[in-house]
Amino acid sequence: MGPGNHCLFCGIAKKEIPSTILYEDSELVAFNDVSPKAPVHVLIIPKKHMDDHLELHEQDCALMGKAHLLANRLAKDLKIDRDGFRLVVNCRQRGGQTVNHLHMHVMGGRDFHWPPG
């Protein structure tokens, strides 16, 4: 996706599109999924646009480490840490990705099954 193209999650990061933001810093934003599939369903995105997980490179290691630490912090704040939770990154068509801006799902408040559907 080129810089001129519309991206839903870039719009959320720039606050051009409304969302319920739970956390924000210079690199990351966390907001509630608009169509939650669990009692807790938060999305963590890098502010920097990346289409999907395959666009991660060596220089993004610290960024993604911070995203994982943020998932832990949100899990504690939202009280899904004790019972456990699920982190999901869907990648491309067969992974079920529908928004082409890299994001991590933080889901909790119910049981999750394995293998996933």
Nearest approach, Cβ of residue 96 and Zn ion (Å): 18
Minimum CB distance to Zn ion smaller for 51 or for 81: 51
Minimum CB distance to ligand AMP smaller for 5 or for 35: 35
> Cα–Cα distance between 96 and 73 in angstroms, integer?
26
Does 101 participate in binding Zn ion (rule CB under 5 A)? yes
| Contacts of the segment 12-20: beta carbons below 8 A, 24+ positions apart | 12/45, 13/45, 13/47
Q: Which residues bind ligand AMP (CB under 6 A)?
A: 8, 17, 19, 33-35, 43, 90, 96-99
